[in-house]
Amino acid sequence: MRRPMVAGNWKMHGSEAANSALLSELEMRLQPEWPIDVAVFPPFVYLAEVVRRLRGASVGVGAQDVCAEPGGAFTGEVAGSMLRDVGCTLVIVGHSERRRWYHEDDAVVARKFGAALAAGLTPVLCVGETLEEREAGMTETVIARQLDAVLAMNGVATLAEAIVAYEPVWAIGTGRNASPDQAEAVHAFVRRRIAEQNATIGGRVRILYGGSVKAANAAELFSMPDVDGGLVGGASLVADEFHQICAAAAASH
Ligand code: PGA
């Protein structure tokens, strides 16, 4: 059985004071014995402090992005080795906001995925279609293209060290989550696509759902057979919501 995971993507939110208050509340509420993995993804500048703060707690820390290059003259960028150096273990690659606002294409995302692994980080690879693509019946075509770029460049074996997140763009920050059936259909498609190249890895890879996950809808989403937890944006900034989502993931195990 795959161990559920709940990942909190803070996006460009937080401050030293707000992070400290949120982490204190989470530490009080999260139960270390729950059979799930929990991680938070703060903005770069807070990573070291959040790692220090969570030392000894069973909550992982990841970054929201990583440079595709290992180091050098790339002003403004952060290398995977630096993320490891400050204690991160995970990194999101290919979030739709990076794809959309910073024009990251499938090839760049595939390189970032490889850079994360080379630095010893677990990539959380985001895939997802826009509303227009869904309405045009293109969902599987888009997901396959995004996934295949990573598989072609890095090889299917790398998926054994990675996590996939299905995040329909139309569901992110909109309050309109995919229905459990819609999510399950795409998760099963992703799993099949990986399994076509390696059945064991396809069966084992964790696929998180992201897009307006809340305490109120987490249990039904996580009850689907191929949904292994959530990548949570807005609700990860509210301790009680995030805690309830983690509880739903634990109950789904
Ligand atoms: P949301 O964001 O939960 O606020 O919809 C999810 C994400 O973008 O990871």
Each residue of 64-97: pLDDT tens digit?
999 999 999 999 999 999 999 999 999 999 999 9
Residue 126 phi, psi dihedral angles, 5° rounding: -95, 135
Average pLDDT of the segment spanning 9-37? 96
Mean of the pLDDT values across residues 27-36? 93
Q: Is residue 31 part of a domain?
A: no
The ligand 1 atom at the shortest distance from the C-alpha of residue 172 is 5
Q: Is residue 32 part of a domain?
A: no
Q: Is 199 helix (H, G, I), strand (E, B) or coil?
A: helix
In a domain, 159, yes or no: yes
What is the per-residue DSSP string for 158-186? GGGG-EEEE--GGGTTSS-PPPHHHHHHH
On whether residue 30 sits in a domain, the answer given is: no
Helices 180-195, 139-154: crossing angle, 10 deg rounding: 30
Task: Kindly list the protein residues whose Cβ atom lies closer than 6 A to any atom of ligand 1.
Answer: 9, 167, 172-173, 210-213, 231-235
Q: Which tokens sit at 40? A: 């938070």
Q: Is 199 inside any structural domain? A: yes
Residue 1 has pLDDT above 90, yes or no: no
Distances in Å between the Cα of 247 and the Cα atoms of 1, 200, 240 are 18, 28, 10
Q: Tell me the percentage of the chain whose pLDDT exceeds 90.
A: 98
By the 8 A CB rule, do 88 and 47 touch?
yes
Domain interval for residue 235: 5-14+17-25+38-252
Tokens of 206: 């964790």
Residue range 176-193: average pLDDT?
Answer: 97
Residue 244 resides in a domain = yes
What's the CATH code of the domain at 149?
3.20.20.70
- Ligand 1 centre distance from Cα of residue 161 (Å): 23
Rg (CA), the chain: 17
Residue 124 Cα to ligand 1 middle (Å):
14
Note whether 170 and 136 are within 8 A (CB). no
Residue 216's pLDDT is 97
Catalytic residues: 95, 167
- Residue 167 near residue 109 (C-beta atoms within 8 A): no
Q: Is 191 in contact with 148 (CB distance < 8 Å)?
A: no
DSSP state of 70: S
Rounded Cα distance, 250 and 253, in Å: 5
Sign of the Cα torsion 92, 94, 96, 101 reads positive
Residue whose CB lies within 8 A of the most ligand 1 atoms, among 10, 40, 41, 213, for a mutation test: 213
Dihedral angle sign, alpha carbons of residues 38, 116, 204, 172: positive
Q: Which residues, in sequence order, are CB contacts of 79 under 8 Å at separation 6+?
A: 66, 67, 69, 70, 71, 115, 119
The pLDDT of residue 197 is above 90:
yes
Measured in Å, residue 212 CA sits from the centre of ligand 1 at 6
- The CA 20 to ligand 1 mean position distance, Å, reads 21
Q: Is residue 121 part of a domain?
A: yes
Number of domains in the chain: 1
Is residue 253 very low, low, confident or very high in pLDDT (cuts 50, 70, 90)? confident
Instruction: List pLDDT tens digits, range 124-174.
Output: 999 999 999 999 999 999 999 999 999 999 999 999 999 999 999 999 999
CA distances from 150 to 112, 142, 213 (A): 9, 13, 26
Asked if the structure places residue 33 within a domain, the reply is no
- From first CA to last CA, the distance across the chain in angstroms is 8
